[in-house]
Amino acid sequence: QVQLVESGGGLVQAGGSLRLSCAASGRRFSSYGMGWFRQAPGKERDFVAAIGWNFGITTYADSVKGRFTVSRDNSKNTVYLQMNSLKPEDTAVYYCLAGNRKVPREWTEADYWGQGTQVIVSS
């Protein structure tokens, strides 16, 4: 069983930065691919970024490429999402996902989901 707890959300002005963290409980964190999704009010959940469990290969949604960076620290059982040059359209609840030896690029591909952290970007 893995529990995921996101943190780092908040209110920021457009052009600003935030770093989200997702702390995972349990063992074998290094065997999990990790993903970030987000859901804006009235919209569907969208893939944001993911990082593999073996070589740390990263993938991003086109809307965040060049602005967001996903990384992981296996010694701390934590995955991060550094968000720069934030825009009002980045406002959403951000969720952390974990997949056992797979990279969750779809919501249903994950084995575990966090509760989410709110990000609000003001214009």
Give tens-digit pLDDT for 88-116: 999 999 999 999 999 999 999 999 999 99
**Could you tell me which of 75, 67, 80, 89 has the C-alpha nearest to residue 36?**
80
**Residues of the chain below pLDDT 50:** none
Cα distance between residue 6 and residue 123, in whole Å:
24
Q: Which residues of 19-49 are buried (b: 16+ CB within 10 A; e: fewer)?
A: ebbbbbeeeebeebbbbbbbeeeeeeeebbb
Confirm if 120 and 93 have CB atoms less than 8 A apart. no
Confirm if 104 and 112 have CB atoms less than 8 A apart. no
In this prediction, residue 11 carries a pLDDT of: 98
Angle at 24 (CA atoms; ends 61, 110), nearest 5 degrees: 45
In this prediction, residue 55 carries a pLDDT of: 87
